Chain A
Amino acid sequence: MSQTLEQITTGVIEGNIQGIRQLIQKALEEGLKAEEILQNGLIVGMNEVGKRFKVAQMFIPEVLRAAKTMHAGQELLHPLVTDARAVRVGTIVIGTVQGDMHDIGKNLVGMMCEGAGFEVIDLGFDLSPETFTEAIKVHQPDIVGMSALLTTTMRSMGHTLKAITEAGLREKVKVMVGGAPVDAEFAARIGADGYGHNAVVGAELARKLVEAA
């Protein structure tokens, strides 16, 4: 395996945002294909990050830095790949639902999804059901992600899902939900397609949802 690819893998694990662009440039100059750099460099690194996070050898600030590095690399490779979906696995629209201004969890999921190869459109927080339906029409995402921290605002997720269905958009998108009070049972009850209990699991779930589609 190319030494430069190994350096790219290490660069992702170490979250070397500045260095990754140079390394990718070097790899391209060495004649490596964009797909190879992605598959055998960046993704190898990000998979290792996921493994280390699960056994508490890496922590969230480091994982996010790795995700950001991954994302920077993907952006660079995007115009060079023949199959765009190899780099950009899908589009995800995320936001915190109406009545809720908590967004650190939603931001985390967004950052992790970028690292997982998604284009992330972050709508913000305290979003009405209509904001979500409009965004689906405009951005045509594969996935809609909704977040809430408060038990009082969890209900807004149900309302938003209902609005998506009534607008005739439910078949077009997968819906995932998350946030401290949310669990798998709640997700099933309101008719969401999935639930992730933390940002890393959320990003994995997003990949599974687009791969299954």
Chain B
Amino acid sequence: MRTNYRVNAGVRFEVFSRDQLEELFNGVLHVMDKIGLDVHHEEARNILADAGAHVEDKRVRIPTHLVKRALATAPRSFTIYARDGNPAHDIQIGPGRAHFGPGPTPPNFIDVETLERRPYVRDDARIVATVVDALPNIDFCESLGTISDVPTDLAAAYEFATMFPRTTKPIVAWSFGWDDSNDIHQIAITEAGGQEAFERRPNYIHYCEPLSPLVSTFEAVDKVIFAARHAVPVIFTTCALAGGTAPVTPAGIIIQTTAESFMGLVLSQIIRPGLPFFTGGVLSVMDMSAMILSYGAPELSLMMAGVTELAHYCGLPLWQTGGCTDSKCLDEQASLEGSLSVFFSALSGGDLCHDVGYTESGMTGSILQTVMMDDAIGYSRRITRGIEVTPDTLAVDVIRDVGPDGHYLYHDHTMQHFKTEFWYPNLCDRHNYEEWAAEGKQTMRARVIDRTREILATHNPSPVRPETAEAITAIMAAAENRVKNKP
């Protein structure tokens, strides 16, 4: 029997103390109650006013008790399910669990064959979903682009319709508004076996992006209302630029973006208490020379770690950011920025880390970057798993067995543990010079490209049910008609 014996099940990493978190949280409450946000959606303003918010024209101020009620009803732990019932592809949201996936909507894509940057097309969604499905350390799917070769209003619906049959990993969907949100939802619930079955086992998440500073746009709010009414787990987060659309200081941007998310939190919890909700976003700096939102800045990782701690302090899961870069191609910069942000994200335990595969400051999606980062995530996860301390792992008896001048290679203890204690990379090369030279002196870049093409040539994701395949065809045909007949 032991008393006061504490076990660390992973590696600890902290940015803030509890007192600092309380100050940040008070800052968020102050912004919501005293400053307020502009909500460009009349119905939403009415819902909020009925619940006790102060509404003056577009400005909505949320009293602290409403925020706290929303925090009390929003869950910290829940599961997003693989559409085919494969438990290995379920996502279990909860403390100490970091998940990774690509990001949405860059206009360009790095062609997997020519390796050139070009506009994103529909087939790229197939490529991304197939590769995501095969990668061991990627947990959810986003498209890494906006489809340019379909009617503009249908880019999101086509993207979902293309990806859904090619991966059983949960998709984080985006949309333009109510209609295409509904297209996406109909596909998902057909596979789930109806709305009721979907509510028991949600198989996708919806992403909504309001505006910094402090604006809840009509589209973002409309989509969060759609999600809440249809029981779709939802993300409501901004992409803020420190020094541009948010305070230049990390503490300031953390407060502002959390308040921006919390408007969606309060609204969603009024409509459907208990709806899974993700706060967070992309918090980074506006580079004052290049004038971009930097996806490779150390401040991104630091601010994201800070906002993660605040979310967890509030009892909410967080939409993290990492595995991204400002580099234009698969090079040393892409590797350095991507790997370090992946590692920080893993350390902070942010619940869904997106943008793994963003390059050129979010302007170009690259599945090659995602494939390279898959190894960085595996590496990071081995570290965050920590060091287990038990009589068996302490191995004092094993040390006695082997003694001075012996070796451990034959020992049962080595056999039992070497596969689980050691992580083995898929892409990082550990051969000696001769072997490496004999294999043609391949660089990391070449190995990443080869592996991506190999997955595309060989991987067959589990298919959707026949009725879902039919539903996708019918839903997209109806959507085409809707767009054609639009005034």
- Give A61 to B420 CA distance when docked, in angstroms: 13
Partner of B407, one of A107, A183, A198: A107
- Is A108 an interface residue, CB under 8 A from the partner? yes
Residue of A nearest to B405 (CB): A103
- Given A56-B424, A108-B409, verify A61-B435 contact (CB < 8 Å): no
- Those of A48-100 within 8 Å (CB) of chain B: 56, 59-62, 64-65, 68
Q: Is B407's CB under 8 angstroms from A68's CB?
A: no
**Most chain A beta carbons < 10 A, residue from B405, B410, B432:** B410
- Give A108 to B405 CA distance when docked, in angstroms: 14
Q: Is A59's CB under 8 angstroms from B434's CB?
A: no
- Given A60-B409, A104-B407, A107-B407, verify A65-B433 contact (CB < 8 Å): no
Residue of B nearest to A68 (CB): B410
B residues near A183, Cβ cutoff 8 Å: 433-434
- Given A56-B424, A197-B434, verify A61-B407 contact (CB < 8 Å): no
A165 shortest CB reach to chain B, Å: 27
B28 shortest CB reach to chain A, Å: 49
**Most chain B beta carbons < 10 A, residue from A60, A61, A103, A183:** A61
- Judged by DSSP, the binding face of A is helix
B residues near A59, Cβ cutoff 8 Å: 418-419
- Is A188 an interface residue, CB under 8 A from the partner? no
- Is B393 an interface residue, CB under 8 A from the partner? no
- Is B415 an interface residue, CB under 8 A from the partner? yes
- Give A111 to B407 CA distance when docked, in angstroms: 12
- Is A167 an interface residue, CB under 8 A from the partner? no
A42 shortest CB reach to chain B, Å: 19
Residue of B nearest to A56 (CB): B424
- Give A61 to B419 CA distance when docked, in angstroms: 10
A residues near B434, Cβ cutoff 8 Å: 183-184, 197
B117 shortest CB reach to chain A, Å: 34
Partner of B435, one of A64, A104, A108, A197: A197
Residue of A nearest to B422 (CB): A59
B residues near A184, Cβ cutoff 8 Å: 434
Report the interface size class on chain A. 10 to 19
A residues near B405, Cβ cutoff 8 Å: 103
- Give A78 to B405 CA distance when docked, in angstroms: 31
B412 shortest CB reach to chain A, Å: 10
Q: Is B432's CB under 8 angstroms from A65's CB?
A: no
B2 shortest CB reach to chain A, Å: 33
A residues near B407, Cβ cutoff 8 Å: 104, 107
- Is B414 an interface residue, CB under 8 A from the partner? yes
B residues near A68, Cβ cutoff 8 Å: 410
- Give A103 to B433 CA distance when docked, in angstroms: 22
- Give A115 to B375 CA distance when docked, in angstroms: 34
- Give A208 to B281 CA distance when docked, in angstroms: 61
- Given A64-B409, A64-B410, A65-B410, verify A197-B432 contact (CB < 8 Å): yes
A164 shortest CB reach to chain B, Å: 26
B408 shortest CB reach to chain A, Å: 9
A residues near B419, Cβ cutoff 8 Å: 59
Q: Is B424's CB under 8 angstroms from A61's CB?
A: no
- Those of B386-426 within 8 Å (CB) of chain A: 405, 407, 409-410, 414-415, 418-419, 424
Mask of A182-208 contacts with B, CB within 8 angstroms, 1/0? 011000000000000110000000000
- Give A197 to B436 CA distance when docked, in angstroms: 12
A residues near B424, Cβ cutoff 8 Å: 56
B residues near A111, Cβ cutoff 8 Å: 409
Q: Is B415's CB under 8 angstroms from A62's CB?
A: yes
Q: Is B414's CB under 8 angstroms from A61's CB?
A: yes
Residue of B nearest to A63 (CB): B409
- Those of A25-56 within 8 Å (CB) of chain B: 56
A188 shortest CB reach to chain B, Å: 14
- Give A103 to B432 CA distance when docked, in angstroms: 19
B residues near A60, Cβ cutoff 8 Å: 409
B residues near A104, Cβ cutoff 8 Å: 407, 409
Residue of A nearest to B426 (CB): A56
Residue of B nearest to A54 (CB): B435
- Give A198 to B430 CA distance when docked, in angstroms: 13
Q: Is B409's CB under 8 angstroms from A198's CB?
A: no
- Give A198 to B419 CA distance when docked, in angstroms: 20
A residues near B435, Cβ cutoff 8 Å: 197
- Give A61 to B433 CA distance when docked, in angstroms: 23
Q: Is B409's CB under 8 angstroms from A61's CB?
A: yes
Residue of A nearest to B410 (CB): A64
A104 shortest CB reach to chain B, Å: 5
B residues near A64, Cβ cutoff 8 Å: 409-410
A residues near B418, Cβ cutoff 8 Å: 59, 61
- Give A65 to B135 CA distance when docked, in angstroms: 32
- Give A183 to B436 CA distance when docked, in angstroms: 14
B residues near A108, Cβ cutoff 8 Å: 409
Which A residues are within 8 Å of any B CB, using their own CB? Answer: 56, 59-62, 64-65, 68, 103-104, 107-108, 111, 183-184, 197-198
A-B contact pairs, 14 of them (CB 8 A): A59-B419, A61-B415, A62-B415, A65-B415, A68-B410, A103-B405, A107-B409, A108-B409, A111-B409, A183-B433, A197-B432, A197-B434, A197-B435, A198-B432
6 closest residue pairs by CB, A with B: A197-B432, A197-B434, A61-B414, A61-B415, A64-B409, A104-B407
